[in-house]
Structure 1
Amino acid sequence: MGQTTIPYHFFRGGTSRGPYFRREDLPKDRETLAKVLVAALGSGQKLNIDGIGGGAAVTTKVAMLSKSETEGCDIDYFFAQVGVEDGLVDFKPTCGNILSGVGPAAIEMGLIVPQGDVTRIRVHSVNTGAKVEAVVRTPGGAVSYEGEAAIDGVPGTSAPVYLNFMDVVGSVTGALLPTGNLRDVIDGIEVTCMDVAMPVVIARARDFGLSGAESAAELDENRAFYDRMEPMRREAGRLMGMGDVSNSVTPKFAILSEPRHGGTVTARYFMPKNCHPTMAVTGAQCLASCVLTPGTVAEGLFTAPEGKPALVLLEHPSGVIDVTVDYSTGPEGFQLNSAGLLRTARLLARGEVMVPSRIWAGK
């Protein structure tokens, strides 16, 4: 048997990377699509040696793009999280870091025509229904990757990509607080279950006997923490109305502690089988919203940021991520209007990836 060739662009988006495909170049049915993505990335082996994955959850992500069928949007962005070793594909979540590359990729693929020196692209997240405006530099009608923007977790500087998130409250569950409570107690530990761009179960680091300043590697070596955290995450998923989440990467889990380097709060975010080396863009919005909502587990860990919109600085294992939150508070509680972040992206390669024809013979 031969191999099937599939055209792709390979991007670093924020602090993640992976292949970006045109949706029309892949199988329509999800079962076959999952098999193709597993083969393309080499899932099932820790180094992804037989594919183009990078052996980490932040490097086994996939973006699939098409002209949008949603009114008011330009591009439909369909995301897949491919497991590193388990051969599983999760189509439930989205990824804000990979989203950073969607605007540039859409232009490179010919799905979007640049508009002057700056191109604004309205992106519809197929997985969650969220709408995001991506602002991309396009001097001379081409994507610029050179610039002065720096993000922690990525060396050097690049052209900025601005992301303005809207309609992200209740992205998966339909509610800011899916359990109806500001705090729940699971296995004796207080948590806040919140859904803003990504459903996240949030706890205080000290309640696990942690400082919260541990490195990602130190946390990943602490298997006793994971052994306690994972059952809590599954129970939280049930309480949030998400059913059995044992084979899903959502909800995510995060722990908060006091700031140490001038930020608003220190955060560690789990994917969930290991600690994110930096911070997920979607997770950052949820954690920033948790910080700004009175009565959550974040209360008492920080000095509240002043002004509206509020600038929330989340300290993560590789530095800091800034989230600008436009919000209001009233009788109905915290109301998120929009959340903005600065990211960068770079085209790393383009060409064709091969999968065995026995898995998919092509269109």
Structure 2
Amino acid sequence: MKKIVLLFFSAIVFNNLNAQNVGIGTTTPTLGKLEIRGAAGTGTTVAAFGTDGAGLAIQKDASGPVIGFNHYRNQTIANSLGKHFANGYAAILAQEVNSGKIKIDMYDYGTGGGFTAAGRRALTIFNSGNIGIRSEASSMATFIVPKLNNYNGSAVFSGTTYTSYFQYSPLENTYIRGGIDNAKVILNDVPGGKVGVGKQAETPTLITSTLSVFGSLKLPDKAVSADYTLTEDDFTILVNMANNATQTIIITLPPPDATTDGRIYIIRGINMPEISNYDNATGWIKVNNITEEYYSSNKLYYVYYSGGAFGTAELSLMESFTVQCIGNQWRILIRSHDTWFQ
């Protein structure tokens, strides 16, 4: 009978406890099934879990709530950012209730029970939803990433083969690459889109063309002294004849098709030998794949012709071509041609 009465009493007590909230630091818990007020010692740690290892702590900092990972605060002293539960690294996730910011701070390796060193701000999420990586300088940009002391820069984006870097190395150069061979980098491909290059490009009203370059322009040049086929890496080709009238140099343009449409080359002869006739078998530069219809139109030469106009000797120098692929044809845009008489 006594056992039955005790069992009945225990059931009533358990049922009452189960229906009630539990308070620590308060006799009137109403905000949750478990409500804790206050913190341990002179610190800010409200609750600690897994304290036999790298535990987790719920803290109430002056600026807002904090979750400590292998991090707790049980006392407050000058310049203290907390302690390590166990040997290892630590971190905190915190909110500033007055600004709405959420912050993640990282701490270096430390010993269990030892104070942490100064932390590093890894991530800031502003109340607006904007994000700062290692920065909380401004909430006016959607994404803020400072370079700081990172050699590889402020951001690295890796493709399958190649990587783009922003503010790379102490020189802070920026490399924008496609991710694989033959990939393309496309800029401002919108109706009316324009691109500005150079210091003055920071004034948008000065960018009036599809490409506006404010300053000098560098284009590749190459000197050759033998037959050569131009590639997508060429622009100006200097063909050195070395005053040798016994040789002929063939310069071949790439096939005119969709892959070369619009491309421009400059082909210029230097140290041209003097030959006596346009029909000479040697002594000139021939450019293959040019679509022209009249005599010697694809040759660079220096002709000394004794039967020139007005009974005088005629000197004719075809020194350079500027050609462009238009559709499926290479056309001469500019030809540098001088003729004089003796």
TM-score tier, shorter chain, comes to under 0.3
Give the TM-score of the pair, scaled to structure 2: 0.20
For CA contacts below 8 A with separation 6 or more, give which structure has more relative contact order. Answer: 1
